[in-house]
Amino acid sequence: MSISTVPFNDLSRSVADIRADIDAAIARVVSSGWFVLGPEHNAFEAELAQYVGVRHAVNVGNGTDALELALAALGVTNGSIVLTVANAGAYTSTATRLLGAEPVFVDIDPSTMLMSAETLHAALAACAEPPTAIVVTHLYGALAPMAEICAVAREAGIPVLEDCAQSLGATVDGVKGGSLADIATTSFYPTKNLGGLGDGGAVLTNRDDLADSVRRMRQYGWASKYNIEYAHGRNSRMDELQAAILRVKLPLLDAGNQRRRDIHTAYESAAQSRVTFVNTANESFIGHLAVVTAENRDEVRAQLTAAGVTTDVHYPIPDFLQKFPDFSPRAMPVEATLWASEHILSLPMFPELTDAEVEQVVRALEALS
Ligand SMILES: Cc1ncc(COP(=O)(O)O)c(C=O)c1O
């Protein structure tokens, strides 16, 4: 008898139940005749800002643009240094390079896979020139220890950016990630917990000056129509269709995050000793990915595949080992980052997994030998 396969993700399921609402949102935009920077866009910015608990949400074209424009707003420019982690898919490194700046890498805490106050402290001590900004990635959906990190950054006088692309909705003591530092960014790439039906991103901040700066940059650096007064202008706008679709999905985000936590709890309950979960389900973790570490990752992966469980690795290549471009020639302490890249494994995780599929993953974990 052939076993069924649990997919790693299935985006068609994410729209099936809300198809009528999405179709209505699209029809509304098509009938309106307003397609860019219109009422849906402005309403989504207001709703997102309220959800995160910040004064401003500024929509942009995607999450990498959000990082680039937020860094530019913080003063990162040609020759600047940006401190960040190297295990998060190179999005921050890419944005940093686009500004002519240099990413310099902070190691991760191997128990969380995140930056910590200790690893930041060590990187600051090892970095010869003062960095212009620090980017904290809330990887896999788990918030990094922001109070401690921000205390170290404050002492060094360096602003902090939270990358919430994987963590939208996670809270600490009831306060949302994205409101815990100077500025934050997110992505609405379709696989994100709040994903659109295409590309999108946003910058979040309580600071009027930073929000104003990003608003100018996303539309050619205009002070007013056709009147360019601001540096680093470009076109990075979200369209009305995407905003209208995200307005349908935002009110469903918390329920989706809870379903992800419940799936994660079921996985954690599997009685086995071959893998260790990086996260546990709690308010500071929204289950973007269910990641384990295993001593013999490739062997565990092969056994899960044989049991019909699809897996992936987030991410297999640390930024500083990417062949092109060379993100950082500097010798920084990155042992934990290297170890993680060889031992992490991501299990299927999306809210529409059926109970039977979750059970199949649990049984496959328990059968690991
Ligand atoms: C942590 C993180 N930051 C930034 C991005 C970049 O977002 P985008 O793909 O919308 O450019 C992603 C995902 O793609 C991400 O996972």
- Delimit the domains of the chain by residue range: 13-250, 252-366
Ligand 1: does its nearest atom lie under 6 Å from the Cβ of 89? yes
Count CB neighbours of 304 within 10 A: 24
Q: Cα–Cα distance between 247 and 245 in angstroms, integer?
A: 5
CA 187 – ligand 1 centroid, Å:
6
CA 6 – ligand 1 centroid, Å:
24
Question: Considering only CA atoms, which of 4, 51, 10, 5 is closest in space to residue 351?
Answer: 10
Q: What is the pLDDT of residue 327?
A: 77
Q: Is residue 125 within a helix (H) or strand (E), and if so which, with residue range?
A: helix 117-126
Ligand 1: does its nearest atom lie under 6 Å from the Cβ of 315? no
Question: Considering only CA atoms, which of 94, 78, 55, 105 is closest in space to residue 214?
Answer: 55
Q: What is the pLDDT of residue 99?
A: 97
Q: What is the pLDDT of residue 1?
A: 62
Ligand 1: does its nearest atom lie under 6 Å from the Cβ of 145? no
Q: What is the pLDDT of residue 324?
A: 75
Count CB neighbours of 109 within 10 A: 15
Q: What is the pLDDT of residue 323?
A: 87
Question: Considering only CA atoms, which of 119, 130, 126 is closest in space to residue 158?
Answer: 130
Q: Judge residue 324's burial from the number of C-beta atoms within 10 Å of its C-beta, 0-12 exposed, 13-18 middle, 19 or more buried.
A: exposed
Q: Cα–Cα distance between 166 and 145 in angstroms, integer?
A: 15
Residues with pLDDT less than 50, the chain:
none
* pTM flag (> 0.85): yes
Angle at 307 between CA 270 and CA 297, to 5 degrees: 70
Q: What is the pLDDT of residue 360?
A: 98
Q: What is the pLDDT of residue 154?
A: 98
CA 353 – ligand 1 centroid, Å:
23
**Atom of ligand 1 minimally distant from the CA of 91:** 4
Ligand 1: does its nearest atom lie under 6 Å from the Cβ of 196? no
Q: Domain 13-250, what architecture?
A: 3-Layer(aba) Sandwich (3.40)
Q: What are the angstrom distances between the C-alpha of 335 and each of 89, 208, 260, 318?
A: 17, 39, 30, 11
**Atom of ligand 1 minimally distant from the CA of 188:** 10
Q: Cα–Cα distance between 177 and 168 in angstroms, integer?
A: 7
Please state the φ and ψ torsions of residue 61, each to the nearest 5 degrees: -70, -30
**Atom of ligand 1 minimally distant from the CA of 187:** 10
Q: What is the pLDDT of residue 128?
A: 85
Q: Cα–Cα distance between 131 and 102 in angstroms, integer?
A: 9
CA 185 – ligand 1 centroid, Å:
9
Ligand 1: does its nearest atom lie under 6 Å from the Cβ of 88? yes
Q: Which CATH class is domain 252-366?
A: alpha beta
Q: Which residues pair with 275 in a beta bridge?
A: 294
